[in-house]
């Protein structure tokens, strides 16, 4: 449920708490809000879907030129690249929202890019926004960061294995 702040000149959809609530509704962004077991399960299902679909395409394209082991490693490399970009996008989205929640001032646009304004948050709004940022979004950000690092390491290992074969 979006929260409307009275005496707040910032438009409704540009208020940081409402941006956070809207971001949680998007499927990929809501993925990072799941508990750990569900998070791993969904990532595994997406990984499996991408691995199988890209694997079929790669087998049909390259089976005559390279062996099946290289095709599988190439498949892993492509899936890792896709996942890296997905999680990088998630990281950027959550970082933007947490930056706006933790900031004591909010930059907003009233009607267009040419008339931006700054609003200084009152103490109660600042406290509430910082609590939401530190205790709800920061764990998501850390989880996404570690997942992104894991896919980067996996990409590097797969690439070196591919070069060895």
- Asked if the structure places residue 2 within a domain, the reply is no
Distance separating alpha carbons of residues 127 and 104, to the nearest angstrom: 9
Domains in the chain, number: 1
- Asked if the structure places residue 118 within a domain, the reply is yes
Q: Please give the chain's pLDDT, 165 residues, in tens.
A: 455 455 778 888 888 999 999 999 998 899 999 999 999 999 999 999 999 999 999 999 888 888 888 899 999 999 999 999 999 999 999 999 999 999 999 888 877 666 778 888 889 989 999 999 999 999 999 999 999 999 999 999 999 998 888
- Asked if the structure places residue 92 within a domain, the reply is yes
Q: By the 8 A CB rule, do 147 and 53 touch?
A: no
Residue 89's alpha-carbon distances to 84, 120, 134, 144, 148, in angstroms, are 9, 28, 20, 10, 10
Parent domain of 115: 12-164
User: How many other CB atoms are found less than 10 A from the CB of residue 16?
Assistant: 23
Query: Burial code of 31-41, b = ≥16 C-beta within 10 A, e = fewer?
Result: bbbeeeeebee
- Asked if the structure places residue 61 within a domain, the reply is yes
- Asked if the structure places residue 53 within a domain, the reply is yes
- Asked if the structure places residue 4 within a domain, the reply is no
């Amino acid at each position: 449920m979006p929260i409307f702040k009275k005496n707040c000149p910032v438009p409704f959809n540009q208020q940081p708490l409402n941006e956070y609530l809207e971001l949680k509704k998007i499927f990929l962004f809501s993925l990072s809000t799941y508990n750990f077991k569900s998070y791993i399960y969904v990532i595994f299902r997406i990984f499996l879907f991408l691995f199988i679909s890209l694997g079929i395409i790669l087998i049909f394209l390259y089976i005559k030129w390279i062996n099946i082991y290289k095709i599988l490693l190439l498949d892993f490399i492509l899936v890792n690249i896709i996942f890296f970009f997905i999680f990088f996008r998630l990281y950027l989205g959550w970082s933007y929202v947490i930056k706006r929640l933790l900031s004591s001032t909010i930059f907003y646009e009233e009607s267009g890019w040419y008339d931006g304004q700054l609003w200084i948050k009152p103490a109660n709004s600042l406290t509430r926004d910082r609590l939401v940022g530190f205790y709800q979004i920061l764990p998501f950000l850390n989880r996404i960061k570690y997942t992104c690092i894991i896919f980067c390491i996996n990409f590097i290992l797969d690439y070196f294995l591919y070069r060895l074969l």
